[in-house]
Amino acid sequence: MSNPTPPPALSVNWDGETIIVSNVERELPPAPTGDDRGDVVTAGSSNPLTPLPVDAWHAVARAVVSPETVAVQLRQPKTAASGLLLEEHVEGATLHSIPSKAWLLELFPGIQPRTGMEDMTISDPRVEGRGEDGQPSTLLRYTYRDLEHLRNHVWQTIQGTLALNNYAPSILGRKVTRALITHPVEFSFEDGTESVYALVVRDGITRLASAWKVLAGPDATADRAATTAVDALFGTISPVKSGDAKPLTRRMAAGRESRRLALATEFSRGWSGTTPGLRSIQIAQTYTMPVQIAVGAQKHMGGLGLAAEDLFDDAMRSILASVHLEFKEWDQAAQNVEVATRALKRVMQLDLGGWDKDDLQVVYGLAVGRTPAKDLPEEYKDKAIPGTDLWRAVYLVHALTHPDLIGPLKEQSKAVKGDRRMSDKGFAGLLGPIVDQPWRSAKREVTKQARNAWGNGGVLTKDVLTTSWDPRPTTDFTSLVGPALSGDDDARCTLAVAGGIALIADKLLTRNVGSALLAPKDKGGVPFRADVKDVIGELARPDNELGLWTLAMAAQRFESERLPRNSSTTRQITRKSTAPEHANDYVHVVVDLSEPDHIARDGAGQPVALTQWDVVWASDESRARKATTRNTPADPPVLDPNSAAGPESRTPDARTGGSPTEHRSASPLPAQRAAAEHQALKEALDDARRALDELTAIEPDMGTWPPLFTVDVLTKLHEAAQNIQHDLYQRLRAEAEAAELEHQDEEGEEVEEEGPTLEDEE
């Protein structure tokens, strides 16, 4: 028997690229029969290794392309324990899976861990596991508010995933080649809507979303691809007919099957002789997906002490972590969220640390964003607690760094990551993207610097980690300064955590402050180098009144909905906004203990905006004065025309800063000014490149209106860029010509120095 002739390779134009398509099949897989699907349900239900409810087996049977083959794999043979099921040993359990192919329209995206550190408009569902006779089940329950919440969550997951990555050209060329990891799920709803059963993808969500991008077409944006997916997965749900009350699961499945058959018809019509059109290629390459369906889990004897209902989800997350923490990495923030929340969940289930499980459940709810800040008074049964985002962060840090809890959390974090040690800085880095959850979106411009600061120790000062303290609820953080100065550790540590978080979140403390050592104040300079946790620890010393007031004022003025004016350098503010400076009245201020309201003011009576220099200065005035004196060049004295004495001593300039309450002026040397402006020019050009790249990245999400650029705007930007390019090029030519002339002069001088030779004299 001769082998079938392989399909010819085709070249297609896809979004301006030429894609070589190598494997378009002439026919799509046929629709399976009801009897074949029934065999899957029967075989799976009778296998003791796969204890799933009947509704879950129906979901598996609907999803697979070849149910007769799946039924064979599920039948338990007499000679082998697991038969043809794929075995995978993970921490605490053995998973049994079915390698198969599934219809694209039967796969729902699960929760995307990659976006766990982002501020998403649609909240994730509540996830609960199931246990059967002490053994874990691979069926999870995702609880949504209502069906619309599920639809919006699916749309957001696909749209957000495509905004991060897109494999559409690769999938168009050769389909999805690596199996998606899936398992059955029950979608339940708080509003009373009956449950829906389906398969969700846990690993391979980017491949799944990219397949929808291929099906949506070469011109489709991430938004449109997500809409295409939602319309197909949910479609028009047929109404309940009298006398034939089919469950919602079956009515939704019927809609998906109808849509799938319509795609098959469209595929057939798209062929012209022996050559498929682009639309047929799109359908062929995405019609089915390779999958690995988890259908059973066995708990290891003597393994993790997690409850049966929690073991499968932990095992599944372990598989994802092994892929995305070790091989194809999520970014650091996504890894940190995954590690920290898994570690906390394990501590809860293993009953470590001696905390009441109900109390830990509150902490877990705060950590994953399930419990909003406004519920703090109710959750902690204390009406004195303000329900604000900053107080959420304070109570979260207090709980996660409690002496009884931090040890087990570190141990479980090490186990999740596979590390041998976990430093305090490493643990602080895990907390950063959990603490900033409420203000990630509003303060996105400085999120990277803030998370770097957490990785540098954050607010985990020595006293916060070793002192037994409890948060002191108040609506006025400045009221805690007096008790803190009197030795009240509760007040002092509350100020350290709340004020430190505010300073970090608003970019007034950055990683290892001192990377811009002795740079100008308005460009993020600091008088000396120190870790973030050490600066906050020094600010919170019981004898540091200036430091405690700085923390209190920062916490009191903190807003989670926007950035203050002094989160950016003066140059950035000037570049990014043409609005008057007073348009943003949110600003952190310098503390002046001699003033009645403790706010430093300039000559015009306006509050002086706080800088990182001022924060570091307040942490240790003595060290700051020594550092600035030691590193200040011996400039000529500055003449004060209003002084009868004539020349005065040199005053601290804009580079070295000086005391926060000293606002004298002096002129830096021309060479110093030139160096600063050289750096400013380079940073401005870097920022221009970054802004253009950012605009380009935003463009697919802009829709059709308003336009990203207009002709007038582009013309002005182009002219400005050309002017700078022209000036720099003229400078380059002039310097190059001068260098060439100097080189020629040097060669001429060398000839003259040799003098006349003996032959010349003769």
What is the C-alpha to C-alpha distance for residues 366 and 369, in angstroms, rounded to an integer? 5
User: DSSP label at 708?
Assistant: S
- Sort 552 into a burial class: Cβ within 10 Å, 0-12 / 13-18 / 19+: buried
Confidence (pLDDT) at 281: 94
For position 551, what pLDDT does the model report?
97
Report whether pLDDT(396) > 60.
yes
Give the residue with greater pLDDT, 341 vs 276: 276
Distance CA 296, CA 406 (A): 34
Q: Which residue has the tokens 């039948």?
A: 75
Q: What is the pLDDT of residues 361-392, one digit of tens each?
A: 888 888 877 788 999 999 999 999 999 999 99
Looking at the predicted structure, is the pLDDT value of residue 50 above 50?
yes
pLDDT for position 714: 83
Of 96 and 702, more confident: 96
Closest CA to 393 of 431, 357, 440, 358: 431
> Tell me, what's the pLDDT at 343?
81
User: 179-183, 601-605, 639-643, 672-676: which has the minimum mean pLDDT?
Assistant: 639-643
Q: Which of residues 32 and 667 earns the better pLDDT score?
A: 32
- Residue 372: what pLDDT? 86
Look up tokens 């001699």; give the residue. Answer: 594
- For 286, the 3-state DSSP assignment is helix
Q: CA gyration radius for the chain?
A: 33
pLDDT digits (tens, 9 = 90+) for 318-333: 676 655 544 445 556 5
pLDDT at 77: 66
pLDDT at residue 757 in the model: 35
Q: In Å, what is the CA distance from 740 to each residue of 103, 733, 736, 737, 745?
A: 70, 10, 6, 5, 9
Q: What percent of the chain has pLDDT over 70?
A: 77
Average pLDDT over residues 2-26: 76
| Contact (Cβ atoms closer than 8 angstroms) between residue 406 and residue 397 | no
**Which is more confidently placed, 355 or 325?**
355
Q: Which residue has the higher pLDDT, 478 or 118?
A: 478
Judge whether residue 659 has pLDDT over 70.
Answer: no
489 or 317, greater pLDDT = 489
Per-residue pLDDT band at 461 (split at 50, 70, 90): very high
Closest listed residue to residue 475, CA positions, set 372, 352, 355, 376? 376
- pLDDT surpassing 80 at residue 118: no
Residue 673 has pLDDT above 90, yes or no: no
Q: Which residue has the tokens 């040799």?
A: 754
Split at pLDDT 50, 70, 90, the class of 731 is confident
For the segment 576-606, what is each residue's pLDDT rounded down to a tens digit? 443 444 456 899 999 999 999 999 998 888 9
